[in-house]
Structure formats: structure tokens, C-alpha cells
Amino acid sequence: MTHCTSTPLDGLDFWLEKLEELIDLDHVVRTSDLQRRCFAFEPVEHIPTVIDYPVGEEWPEFGFEDIYHDPAKMLLSELRSVYTGAKLQDDRLYGIRANYGTGIIASMFGCEVVVLDHSLPRALPVSEERLREVLAGDLPPVRAGIVGRALDTVAFYRETLAPYPKLSTAVGSQMLDIQGPFDNAMLIWGEGALYAIYDEYQNLAQLMDLVVEATLAVVREHRRIDGRPIEEHDGWWNGLGGLCVREDSCVMLSGAQYRDFVKPHDAKLLSQLGGWLHWCGKGHQWLDEVLSLPGVRGVNISQGEFYDLAQVYQACEAAKVAIVGWAQPVPEYLRGRIRTGFSRAACAADYDAACRMKERLYETGHVDVDSPIGLSNRPKA
């Protein structure tokens, strides 16, 4: 990544004015309607697709350590994606997040957050002594850990965008990275959370209950500060809305373990606010359990290469749970089958290539190209 260290942040207005001129509110309204219809499994003109491409020096770029210590740099960093989408007018909605990494909720319980320049900040597990204090104690204050800092950044975003009518209307406050009940338990307890499934399940359940209550408190405070509807997500896929609950650590669990130990806690979050689940890796063993969660509207499976898309789409369609941000090419033989309840995230080499992909999307309904020489990429029987 190219680091921008010389951007005059006292000239922040220059970048905001540039983006204000670029945003088309009519396009945002059309995109919101497209997403809403698609995620409700209604007919749509084409699959909602985000087409990412490099913008180089057209917009400032910073490393994680830079943005962690400077909310103005973080704002510009978050708006880079908005600029990319507004220039192309693809199917993303616009949102900016107080991007303090995966350890925000865990920090409320005493986890130290380590800042790295090449990846998101991460949380370190607490000591055994601190863990026992957490289990014996009450819910931490809503601004505990780095949450207060993150919420102050949310307020800074809204105050900074307020003088710009289009930016303040079109750019939402994407919810913090709240992770999920089991992911946070893993961050707080470390690998001991896996052993606790067998040896200390009541303590593990208690910890996840505390995480759920802390998360709900943070979400409510976030929305009080930014003034956005509590049922929204305010990111690329805000047409789906709700919380994005991340449960990457669950790929280490069996289907029965997810059902018995984790699902009740995910359900406490989603049944109140609705939303979707994200995970990396292989979650085949509990996909059906996820699809039956109360309030679940979508799944974001980030490593689609591990899955048979035809089988996943069939299961999701039956449950009326959308597939969100699928990042792998859709095989040619499935493009006629997958026409709604599905969104796509794709990459282009540059802006011109992105424009060609967008044209193809509008012509065919999908962004992916056909196999060469008419060959189908249908799996062999």
C-alpha cells in the first residue's frame, strides 16, 4: 500500500468538497431501492455489484497506524471507498466506520489493543486473573476500553460532514466492527474458550451473555450519537440493514457445537436488531443453523472458493436469506439461475476496466465474463 504522509489535513475541506460535487443523490436512491428489492428476493434488473479498482493518488491513503492516531486521517481513509464508488456509480451504498479494528468490544473487558501498520488493530487475551474478575463482575461502562475513542470518532465524522448536504445525506455511519459473541469470547479468553466448551461451558455462556449486552449498549449509544436508524448498518450493503455479526472463530466448531453453544447468543443480537453473519473459512457444518437464526437477513461468506455456490444459493433461497458480497466469479451455468437474493463484490485492474465490467453487468445481469471459446465452467458430474 502507498502511504500518504504529506496530505495537508488543514485542507480537509478540499477533499470533502471534491467528493460533495461527485455524489449523485438520485443514483444513491436508485441503488438503495435495487438492494432492497434484491435482498427481499424480488426481481431486479441486475445483481447488485460493487466493483473495486485502484484510484491511486486521486484520494489520500494511509496506513493503519496513521489512522488509529488521527481521526481526520481515518475519515479520509474511510471516504476513499466512497470516492471510488461515487466516481464509478456502481451498486455500493456509502458508509464510513470508526475503524479501530476487531478488538473494540473485547477492549471493554480489559483486552489490550495492539496497533499494527499492515493490518487492523487486534486485541490480546486477558490474564486468567482478569478473566475471573470479568466473570464475577458487572457489565462494563459503555465507553470502556477504546469504545469511547471510537464513539468520539463517530461524532467527529458527523460534525465534519454536516456542512455538506450530499455527504451528510448519502454517507452513513457504518456500525463499529462488533465481531460476534463467540469471536469476542475468543479474543478475551484466548484459546481457553475452546477448552471451555467442554470444561467451563457455564462460564463461557456467561461471558458471551456479557458480550451480547455490551454490544447492544454500544450499538444504541452509537446510533444515539450519529442519529441514524438503529436497524440500519450503513455500509456497502445497507439495503440489507441490521448488524453484521462476525463469527470467524466458529469455523473451528462442529455444527452441533455451534447450535448448542453459540447460536443462542447470536440469536439474542439478531432477534433484536436483525442483520447478517460474516465468516471466513469453512462453515458448511452450521450453515443451516445460521439460516434459521431469528432476524437473519443475509450471509457474507468471504471465501466462496470453499463452497459449492449452487448448493449454498439453493439453501439460502429456500430460507429467503440473501448471499451478500460474494467475491468469487459466478459460474456461467449459474448466472441464469441466480438473478436475485444475491450481491457481488468484484475487482478491476483500473477505472476503464471497471467501466467495462459495469457495462457488462447492465447488459447481462452479472459482472462475470463467459468462459473462453464457449466452454462452460459447470463442474463435471
Does some domain include residue 3?
no
The whole-number pLDDT of residue 374 equals 36
pLDDT of residue 376: 39
Say which range, 45-59, 233-247, 346-360, has the weakest mean pLDDT. 233-247
pLDDT tens digits, residue range 291-317?
999 999 999 999 989 999 999 999 999
| Grid coordinates of 142 | 459503555
- pLDDT of amino acid 238: 87
- Would 101 be classed as within a structural domain? yes
4 falls within a domain: no
pLDDT tens-digit series, residues 62-117: 999 899 999 999 999 999 999 999 999 999 999 999 999 999 999 999 999 999 87
Number of domains in the chain: 1
Reading the block at residue 54, the C-alpha cell is: 485502484
Q: Is residue 371 part of a domain?
A: no
Per-residue buried b or exposed e for 75-97, using 16+ beta carbons within 10 Å of the residue's own CB:
bbbbbbbbbbbbbbbbbbbbbbb
User: Considering the domain boundaries, does residue 76 fall inside one?
Assistant: yes
- Mean pLDDT for 344-349 is 97
Q: Tell me: the pLDDT tens digits for 131-158?
A: 999 999 999 999 999 999 999 999 999 9
CB atoms within 10 A of CB 225: 15
Mean pLDDT in residue range 48-75: 95
Which CATH number covers residue 360?
3.20.20.210
Spatial neighbors of 138 by CB under 8 A, at least 6 apart, are: none
Which domain covers residue 356, as residue numbers? 47-366
How many Å apart are CA 52 and CA 44, to the nearest integer? 22
3-state secondary structure of 166: helix
pLDDT for res 267: 97
The percent helix, strand, coil of the chain (3-state, each to 5) is 50, 10, 35
Q: Is residue 29 in a domain?
A: no
Domain-located, residue 13: no
Assigned domain for 341 exists:
yes
